[in-house]
Amino acid sequence: MKPIGVFGGTFDPIHYGHLRTAFEMLQALRFDQVRFIPCGDPPHRGETFASATERLDMVRVAVAEQPGFVVDDRELERGGPSYSIDTLTTLREEFPDRSLGLIVGMDAFLGLPRWHRWTEFLDVAHIIVAHRPGWRAPDIGPLGELLVECGTHRISDLHELTHGCIHIHAVTQLEISSTEIRELVEAGRDPRFLMPDAVRNVIAESGCYGKLDAK
């Protein structure tokens, strides 16, 4: 049984940086599926700009056409702060024998020691790190040590073991961020071609980041 990719984020909004990363992981790591899990209440950052429903809508329309992409709204359903360890634990209960791969960008990986109960993640899942422009893999500190202990270059390890490995995977570098998209819309400019048109339509219809004429 092929691994399940677990891709969490605020997705405020989802963009081609997320989608291309997930797609390359799906193909190159031979994942069965990638589950997009919008964060309900992100504990490590302030309020989101779009509502939870709007962010979920954007994720839904963005992944609708891609086989293997799955929307998973468990963090929104759960309520309260969205801790990744809780999400991983419920996924592990649901898929007891499957390999699970938590997908994070390098920026998020470097911040991992600030995440709630992060040292338990590898007891439940692998961690798959996507390179992002401008970020380097750690070679010192707790993450550097963890990489020495659990790092693997072998994709077969991610298939043969259900959890416990860290794999750094180079993906096409698309220097797009949700912050930049929100700022563009707020400044009255059009974020077209940074995300699927269907996502841009949700932004225009909801006005969640400011006025946008999607015509």
Residues that bind ligand ATP (CB under 6 A): 9-12, 17-18, 21, 104-105, 107-108, 130, 132, 174, 176-179
Query: Closer to ligand ATP at the Cβ: 132 or 163?
Result: 132
Encoding tokens for residue 14?
């989802």
Q: Are 23 and 66 in contact (CB under 8 A)?
A: yes
Residue 91's CB is within 10 A of a number of other CB atoms, namely 21
Q: Find the residue with minimal CB distance to ligand ATP.
A: 105
**In terms of DSSP H, where are the helices of the chain?**
16-28, 52-63, 74-78, 84-94, 106-110, 121-124, 141-150, 155-160, 178-186, 197-206
CB-nearer residue toward ligand ATP: 1 or 66: 66
Residue 18 or 200 with smaller CB distance to ligand ATP: 18
Minimum distance of ligand ATP from residue 182's CB (angstroms): 7
Contact between residue 45 and residue 95 where contact means Cβ atoms under 8 Å apart: no
Which CB sits closer to ligand ATP, 124 or 129? 129
**DSSP helix/strand/coil, 128:** strand
